[in-house]
Structure 1
Amino acid sequence: MNAQLEAKLKTLPRNPGVYFHKDAAGEIIYVGKAAVLRNRVRQYFQDSRDKDIKTQALVAEIFDTDWVETESEIDALFLESEMVKRYMPRYNILLRDDKSQMFVRIDMKSEWPTVSFTRNPADDNADYYGPFYNSYALKKALRYLRKVFPYFTREPKPGQSRLDEDLGLSPRREDGSEAYKANLRKLVSYIKGNRKQLANEIEQEMKTAAGLHEFERAAHLRNKLGHMRELQRRVMFGDREFLDISKDKALVDIKLLLGLDKLPTRIEGYDISHMGGTNVVASMVVFTNGVSDRAEYRKFKAKLQQNDDYANMYDTLLRRLSPKNITAWGMPDLLLIDGGKGQLESAIKALDERGVTVPVISIAKREEEMIVHRTRSCIDATYLDGLAHAAQEGIDVQQSGEFYVVNLHPGQRNAGSHSRNLRAGTQVYPHTDVVKLFQRIRDESHRFAVSYHTVLRKQKQTESILEDIPGIGPATRKKLIKTFGSLRAVKAAPEAEVAALVGQAKATEIKKFL
């Protein structure tokens, strides 16, 4: 351990938070979370007899350590997960067994919604919250939260044991489905980071109940508050409520590079996905305070099927910036378009048509270069203009007509059109954090668009087969898919089940054809 790091470790706080181990070149090689930063981080540099070989190798490379404090341990898991996804430190991959993220799934559209966990979110109308990297901590946290906000882990059935209800872990069905869903919305609000607001609401409800002499209800609410305070000491997962975004160097650097008036707290990323102009879709992903905000994601199905990415991007931004959607979703602080000059010009055209002023840039896939229009990207180009005329180490700014082409990683090469990491040497560039954040947003918008396109393509393949069956119209096809879920399930279903749904004559024709 070098003297500078040794001195720095003495300043570690006793608060919870997320820490970043770096090597001699300044690259982040490991991201972790801690209930007490001082204790957890210093453990790495204590007697190595209990450490495995991989951990010893990590410690040998640590040259510097930084950290971000959070108000409680409950704030740390989401932040840790997002930082791992942004920086992809190599030792996080080596030292972790659960390499894919975990999501919390809640099917709010069911009569009695259930809370479960999954690694592969599906397009099934359920709500997904995450991602979280530490599945053990996530499940432990939800177990504790269940005492405060009781929920079902499986759909209740008549005659089923009510032990969980008696223990206060599941809601009482006598209270009704709507009361249960209202309780679940509080759980979701807590997961999203509104802990303080919820605590204030519950405390106010408790005082009101006591004032009305409803002492049993007041005692119940008092117990909820007690459990919530206990969570502060015991559970681990994250939210964005207490993150000091001024410590996120990527956001600070973006503000500097683009001459923004304020930190870009809401960044929206867009991508188009289709196959030869069919099943054209677009994705909108949202990053709030530098981390993905999955609840704000939106997807667009193109009204006009065309093999024209420029036109598709224009239509998507035109719909996004409609007065109705601006009112419902708010305004972004920065738009990030996946593509080159053509896609950027299409987005600018949509902004001009809507009369909206929002900073907009694009990221070209080939070399991961940032494309900025000098006068129409709604930014202050003073800083970029200075870089274009005065070389600065680690940044390459070229002017191409009215466009700036900004390379924040000169000398590094991309391995593919959607590579998650630039192939590089040991040099660390001044705006590496910006590159990592932009890559993270671009990759997430690509993933979200492709997943939606895949769902539509599969649905279309199923529909095209059913369309060939004589006498089977759109309403019958929709009823079959809604009931059985897939063409394979229709094939496997007994003819009597199909007949009960669509009638014997149609069932006979369907089974005969399939």
Structure 2
Amino acid sequence: MARSVGGPASFRPKPGSIPEFPGVYRFKDADGRVIYVGKAKSLRQRLNSYFADFAGLHPRTQTMLTTAVGVDWTVVGTEVEALQLEYSWIKEYDPRFNVKYRDDKSYPYLAVTMGEEFPRVQVLRGAKRKGTRYFGPYSHAWAIRETVDLLLRVFPIRSCSGGVFRRAAQIGRPCLLGYIDKCSAPCVGRVTAEEHRELADDFCEFMAGNTGRFIRRLEREMREAAVEQEYERAARLRDDIQALQRAMEKQAVVLGDNTDCDVVALAEDPLEAAVQVFYVRSGRIRGQRGWVVDKVEEAAPGELVEQFLLQMYGDAAAEALPREVLVPVLPPDAEAVTELLGEQRGARVEIRVPQRGDKRSLMETVERNAVESLKQHKLRRASDLTARSRALQEVADALDLDQVPLRIECYDVSHIQGTDVVASMVVFEDGLARKSEYRRFSVRSTEGDVASIHEVISRRFKRYLEERSATGELDAATGIELEEEPAEGPDEEPRTPGVDPETGRPRKFAYPPNLVVVDGGPAQAAAARRALDELGVDDVAVCGLAKRLEEVWLPGEDLPVILARSSEALYLLQRVRDEAHRFAITYHRSKRSKSVRESALDEVPGLGPARRQALIKHFGSVKRLREATAAQICEVPGIGPSTAETIVSALKGQNP
């Protein structure tokens, strides 16, 4: 083991001392606690990557290395052994820097306590208990209770607590459920322990998906009762069949009757990942579950899938593992993971990526749920007033601002190889998006992102200075603030800064931000600062947020500001940046789509920009215009018969 207290370089293992075999390694802190566990096909190659380029590592990995004072490793024979040992150590040491799949909420399960003498059906959350069979998870507890209420007609097993059960046995009188035939009342000896366990076994078998034989049995008994003219019994059996069918209808049929699989999907950003799982048994969705995890390293989706499969199924009972696991991408060591899960289940487990058909459609549904889960997770943090206040204060402290940035503007540039260049400006006030203040720009510069940022910042703040000048707050030529001019008459209202006197609404660029954030690194931040300096604006702070490592760059600084990846400040800046990126991409796509539509009309003689736009607006697309007759084209204002004939002949000569 390499061990020291002088930072990562001081405990780096000596060259050649690390074996090139598969194995598992542990980083430890000054107190000897294991803080990270990892596995590798080649220990030497993997561990050397931690020490080769510290600045290029993920922020959380950098924090882990600066916290650690030593690393040791264990060599194993195969990749399967490495997976097993890695999982065992993660479970044993609970390292603080490893990915931990925590639920984005506490999911309820339908549980049957088969370990008790008289099994009980109930709703349970949290850690699973030995001797208890679980079904689900369900999204809501009331969904379980509705299902149980329907099934107790047919499988009247105990659902009362231990105290109620013992009291009923003492007084010799069952509870209400016993009187209405929704409990077989083993507490007072109406059925024996063996008969009650048979009911519980049937209940579990029905919940496990073996539904057909119970319905066929009840239908047969109903027909026999009808033949024997026992109509009341036949009616009860009919109602029992309907109850089972209603319970089955609550679980959507998505795949074939014999399909047992778990469908796993991911949604991620540079800092976090959301995982969603749909549990399909006998072709029906039996449950759904979700996790949100902090990403420790720049892990590829396949690595996240591998970590999930190990943690999800590492302790699972054999019957809990499905025959098939559908994943968005295969894990790097797919064969080893398949072998490990197969040993756990006692039979083959297939891990694969669905390519087409119903399984692919279901995967897309699960992916949408994962995306929504991640979005809701971030929104919950953003909507918390305390978290927002803490985030703004942390931003002010990290960037050494004089005051909390109550108004933040973020700018992003979007284009494809320098064409259709656009930029976005999004506004966050008090940590929340102010969509009415969003603005978008068509960029004239074609010299790259740095020049585009300079142009957009210059245009935005020129408008700000012009509007302040128009209200008398600022002399545009000198940049000297002036006193507000007095009203010309006694009936005139005083002029309000930043408000259009005609509409009473805020002017578009009237309010300056406390902080300008640009999507990019030091070059983009310097360009924004240069634009502000050229205009004489010196009371607005500037920073750049680089995507790859989420580094915050200040103009003129050689080193970035590294925010803790769990900090509210980084969440806020990342959300602002992502919103600017989304807004820019949306505008770029609409502009590019428009230019593609109009390009087909560029070669038509006699058509200028106004006529082209009028034609597209009237017909909606070039395809519909191509299908139109000359008479229909003449209906467009400004288009005469000769021009219409020219358009028809020109479009017919083009390839659709």
TM class by smaller structure: 0.3 to 0.5
Greater relative contact order (CA < 8 Å, ≥ 6 in sequence)? 1
Q: State TM-score, norm by structure 2.
A: 0.36
